[in-house]
Each structure stands twice: as structure tokens, then as C-alpha cells.
Amino acid sequence: MPDPPADSTPQGLAVDVLAIAAHRDDVEQTCGGTLLRMASRGLRTAILDLTQGEAGTRGSAEERAREAAEAATVLGVGWRQALDLPDGAVENTLENQLKIVRVLRQLRPRVVILPYWQARHPDHAVVASLGYQACFLSGLTKPPAVGPTAPSAAPAVRPIAPAAAPAVRPTAPVARAEGESGLPHRPFKIVYASLYADVRPSFIVDITPFIEQRHQALLAYRSQYANQPVGGGLFVPEEEIRERTFAEARHYGLLAGVRYGEPFVQKEVGLVDDLTLLPVQTL
């Protein structure tokens, strides 16, 4: 096992990578392979879903909670919870930012993955700015407060314990500090998962060894993806999900000269130390 992160604090143990998404199963579709790859390197990964899926055409929020926990196990994720933002009506408000700040201060991630800021689903686009502002606020010693009547951000889902997943060593469980808001913490890096967006990625993560396991994680959402009459006009058949998701991963993999990949956008430029170690062949 790797050494514990150097910046562990009494306020909560650090995770290396936290993926924040609007809906349960967004992470599985856009950066699940990346989380698997990070876990295989001994890094601690976590997922924060902002809604619980009550507005979905198929399945209930309770079903989706169970499925999300199962998917997290497959992804080797040590911590996953869902906030209570309204599904389909996620808004970038101070109150919602502060709900995320509490999680950021508890988990203290070095890297945060957000959805790309242009998206067909309004929730995805909002989470890009909502999450970004939360990351900023989380670093302030005195973030603005909302009134005392603000509802608690008590997550509706218990943290899950990591369980053995084939081929990937689960990340170490993250000790929870249930206390108050914790010390300020600003993530070092924010990257945007851009698989849903028609935009040229800044970089690709090679997920070739993890593509089958990522697919397994997605299929954990049986209420969404198992063939059934409800929502038949909206949802693609189960057998087509594999074809579509593998084709997307193949497309992004090809851009970087690997078999399967997941795309990301970063706002910063890259910094290079040694030109001879630059990956991705030109010709």
C-alpha cells in the first residue's frame, strides 16, 4: 500500500482525485476509466454526485443509491456520497456551493474532475461553474455564510467501504471527519471531463486496461440500462450501450495513439520539462 498522503489532516484524510457530477452514472460514463486507472496507481479516489436521481424516467432514487454504491465498488472508489440538489434543476447558488465546500474540506482532494462547461443537459453545464466556484470558496478562510435556516448538507448515502474489484486494488478507505466545515482547502487542479462535449480535449487518459471494468460499473445501473418497457423510446437498448461507449472510448483513444481513452479539458497550459519525454507520436 502507498504511504498515506502527506497532507492528511485531523479534519479529514486527503483523497487524491475527487470527481463531482450532477447525476449518478455521469462519472461512470465520462471518467470511470480514469478513476480506475488512478486507483490502480494507488491513488485515493472519491465521487460526489450532486443529485439523487428522483427525476429520472426509470428507477427510484433509492434504487439508484444502491446501484451507485455497487458501481463505486467496481470502480475501486473509497468514498461516494450524494447531495440533495434537485435533479434536473441544479442551480449555481451560494447555498449549493457551500454544500460542496463542506465535502471539499472533508476530503481535501488534490485534483477535482468536473463536467465540461458546455453541455446538452443543463445540470451538467451548471455543475462546471458551481463546482469551480465551490473549489474557490473552499480555499477562503472566511467564506460567505448562508442564513441559519439553510438546510443541512447531510448526505443521503452512507459512505461505502471499498471492496475488492478485479484487476484494480481498491483505494484505501477515507476516514471520515463528521465535524464542522474543516480548514480551508483549495484543490491544486481542476480538469473537465469532456466526453459529452464536442470539443477538442487537452489530453487523453489511456483507459485501455480498464474498459471492461468501466462497462461493468455502468451496467450496475440496472434500473437505467437493463432492457425494459418503461422509457423504451428514450433509452437505447442494453446491447447498444456497449457499442456506443466503446466506440466513443476508441475514438478518443485513437487521438492519443492508444486503444481506449477518456478526454479531458484543462484551462491552463501544459508545462514541459523534457521534450524527449513528450507522449503521443506525431507521425
CB-based burial, 149-159: b 16+ in 10 Å, e otherwise: eeeebebebeb
Query: Cell for 82?
Result: 450524494
Closest CA to 19 of 72, 73, 94, 74: 72
22/71 with CB nearer Zn ion: 22
Q: Is 26 in the site for Zn ion (CB under 5 A)?
A: yes
Tell the smallest beta-carbon distance from residue 59 to Zn ion (Å). 14
Please, which of residues 108-167 interact with Zn ion by CB under 5 A?
A: none
> How many chain residues are in contact with Zn ion, going by CB under 5 A?
3
To which residue does cell 484543490 refer? 187
44/215 with CB nearer Zn ion: 215
23/108 with CB nearer Zn ion: 23
Q: Is 28 in the site for Zn ion (CB under 5 A)?
A: no
What residue is closest to Zn ion based on CB? 23
Kindly indicate which of the ranges 19-27, 54-62, 87-95, 213-221 contains the residues binding Zn ion, using the contact rule CB under 5 A. Answer: 19-27
Distance, in Å, from the CA atom of 203 to the CA atom of 181, rounded to the nearest integer, reads: 34
Tell the smallest beta-carbon distance from residue 210 to Zn ion (Å). 21
Closest CA to 205 of 244, 243, 259: 259
The one among 12, 17, 23, 59 contacting Zn ion by CB under 5 A: 23
Kindly indicate which of the ranges 26-34, 144-152, 178-186, 255-263 contains the residues binding Zn ion, using the contact rule CB under 5 A. Answer: 26-34
Tell the smallest beta-carbon distance from residue 35 to Zn ion (Å). 16
Tell the smallest beta-carbon distance from residue 196 to Zn ion (Å). 8
Kindly indicate which of the ranges 24-32, 73-81, 104-112, 275-283 contains the residues binding Zn ion, using the contact rule CB under 5 A. Answer: 24-32
Amino acid at 13: L
What 3-state DSSP class applies to 17?
Answer: strand
CA distances from 214 to 29, 146, 232, 275 (A): 8, 39, 24, 33
22/43 with CB nearer Zn ion: 22
Phi first, then psi: what are they for 162, rounded to 5°? -70, 145
**Angle (CA) 213 216 217, round 5°:** 90
**Angle (CA) 88 93 99, round 5°:** 90
Tell the smallest beta-carbon distance from residue 51 to Zn ion (Å). 9
Tell the smallest beta-carbon distance from residue 23 to Zn ion (Å). 4
Contacts with Zn ion by CB under 5 A lie at: 22-23, 26
